[in-house]
Structure 1
Amino acid sequence: MSQRRPILSLGIGLAFLLPALGFVLVFLVFPSLWVLQISLTNQTLTGEAALSPQWVGLANFQALFDPETWMIRGYFGNALRNTVLFVIGSALIGQAGLGLALAWAFHRRRGWLREVVYTLVILAWIIPDVVVAFMWVAYLDRDQGTLNAVLAALGLSRVDWLIEHPLFSAIVFNIWRGTAFSMLLFSSALATLPPSYLEAAAVAGANAWQAFRDIILPSIRGHIVTDLILITLWTFNTFTPYLITGGGPTFRSEVVSIYTFRIAFQHFEFGRGAAVAVVMMFINLVLALIYLRVLRREGVAR
């Protein structure tokens, strides 16, 4: 039996791949290597180090992980802790949980209520960041904000949300902003399930929670893993909390992306900022590898 010849030769296949490889090299590999090189120097935008930066080796990385300043506000450890809380609260618990709840609640419902809810959730996702941030700053304002007006009407005291609870405000803002992706992903996953699954569970006497736990969750496990990994990556790198809190007050809501911006583009310490960027790239690489490993395992399991 003769072997089937490939449609394209190796040379032609490489020729088709060259443009994509060129883009990867120019826009991904080269900038990453350039940032890595800067992270090993004391380069700044102004001063003597701007003209003749010195090689400092791993000094910038050692300063980031210095135990004496690790958890002090304004340093990398505090920003990393805030980022972890921000990701867990807004992505893993908020967006994924609320998105799944909305998708399940309207899975088998039709009508104007479903359309209104889906429209509002998607609208919150597609409005530009600056517009959304301005809306939320006005909404959370202590004296004129809508939320405090409602609290005052209920006889409750006003709260200065952006000053007293800045990280919590950023988490709630990000949940409201990004739930749409999880909701749409889970809605499409639920739509692929045969109706006979739930009908058989109903005949067997299973209640709604039992059907959700024993049938729905195992059936959409792959979609849940995909959603968790993707929103974790996006939330870890997002810069939108800066638009409502600026990382303050006193660095209480400063996440790693804001910390990098402050060091590199406000203090003009490019070497230190590049070191933070390298650490972020490493964390993103680890998360991406976990994502690929889990997807491969899900594919083998199926």
Structure 2
Amino acid sequence: MPPVDQVLAEPSRRTRRPATDSAGLGRARAVGFVTPALILIGVFLVFPALWSIYIGLTNYTLTGPASVDPKTVGLDNVTGALSDPLFGNSLWLTLLYVLASAVIGQNILGFTLAWTMRSARRWLRRVVEALVLLAWILPSTVVAYLWIAALDRDNGTLNLMLQTPGIAWLVQYPMSSLIVFNLWRGTAFSMLLYSSALAVVPPSQLETARLVGAGKLSMLRDVVFPHIRGHVLTNTLLISLWTANDFSPFLLTAGGPNHASETLPVFIYQQALGSGQLGYASAISFLLLLMNLVIALVYLRLLRRRR
């Protein structure tokens, strides 16, 4: 006969079933819940991405014989883009746009606002947050119209304030105007994220630093940033990717004058719909995707090292 403890343990073993998911739904029900979401992701994200990669390997055009019967050209579109001076110009402008308006501008201004508003009066903090968020939530077309009106050469608000009639800001200083525009519009996210991050900094450590006579820069370097460095990397990753894929510059300058503000998203649009070179534009889109992946991997690696 088997031991008594083994006999007593057999019913419990029979009644116990290993849970296949944390909610205890069972594998079949769990799959049923996530299947609709997976189908939507596949139809609206995965399939278009794969189709775009396929088109990038062909000479597919918007009109003409190649629009009906495209031919496979392999990596000719990629090599053609890498040797295209207009692509190099757009790549450089995109890097400048991301670095100046997002990595440096939005990071510094967003943190400055979040740090300053911590000790401000409640009504002032609410007013500043409302104004900053208003610039973020307004539709792109509305924001572009407001900036075109402000930077107009003849009756622009900025020229009236500075008493500098005749300066066409979007024509004479296109990239500077776009950088300031994106800095003004995108700072809200950085401010909100840093406001939440600063809330986890222990007040006792800040008070101790004040008592020992630490200056503001020393306090930020030795007390604040060690607590929020993960948030800094996360914020930098997100705003970098968003800015690199931002299409708003097209609404202000359309890439002009003479390609002086033609970032990569605008360049892709011009090649696809302006010139009708859908295969070439899809290949450039794939290159932009690879650059986004490289940026994301670098930031994620840095984030792991910081933890």
TM-score (norm. length: structure 2): 0.89
Match of 1:105 in 2: 116
Pairing 1:1-302 to 2, within 5 Å after superposition: 5-6=18-19, 7-66=24-83, 69-70=84-85, 75-152=86-163, 159-298=167-306, 301=307
1:93 is matched by which residue type in structure 2?
A: I
CA RMSD in angstroms comes to 1.9
Task: Call closer, same or farther: CA 1:4–1:214 in 2, change over 3 Å.
Answer: farther
Q: Counterparts of 1:204 and 1:115 in 2: how far apart (Å)?
A: 32
Q: Which runs of 5+ in 2 are unaligned?
A: 1-8
Q: Which runs of 5+ in 1 are unaligned?
A: none
Q: Counterparts of 2:248 and 2:302 in 1: how far apart (Å)?
A: 29
Pairwise CA distance, 1:20: 2.6
Give the SS at the match of 1:37.
Answer: helix
1:201 is matched by which residue type in structure 2?
A: A
Q: Counterparts of 2:38 and 2:140 in 1: how far apart (Å)?
A: 32
Q: Counterparts of 2:29 and 2:141 in 1: how far apart (Å)?
A: 46
Pairwise CA distance, 1:295: 4.1
Pairwise CA distance, 1:275: 0.6
1:120 is matched by which residue type in structure 2?
A: L
| Cα shift readout 1:57-116 (whole Å, capped 9, x = no counterpart) | 1111111011xx43xxxx111111100000001101111110001111111222333222
CA contact (8 A) 1:121 1:179 kept: yes
CA contact (8 A) 1:151 1:158 kept: no
Task: Call closer, same or farther: CA 1:202–1:158 in 2, change over 3 Å.
Answer: farther
Pairwise CA distance, 1:296: 4.1
1:36 is matched by which residue type in structure 2?
A: I
**Matched pairs, number:** 290
Kindly name which structure, 1 or 2, has the bigger radius of gyration based on alpha carbons: 2
CA contact (8 A) 2:154 2:165 kept: no
CA contact (8 A) 2:153 2:165 kept: no
CA contact (8 A) 2:153 2:166 kept: yes
CA contact (8 A) 2:53 2:282 kept: yes
Pairwise CA distance, 1:146: 1.4
Q: Counterparts of 1:111 and 1:38 in 2: how far apart (Å)?
A: 54
Q: Counterparts of 2:107 and 2:136 in 1: how far apart (Å)?
A: 14
Give the SS at the match of 2:193.
Answer: helix
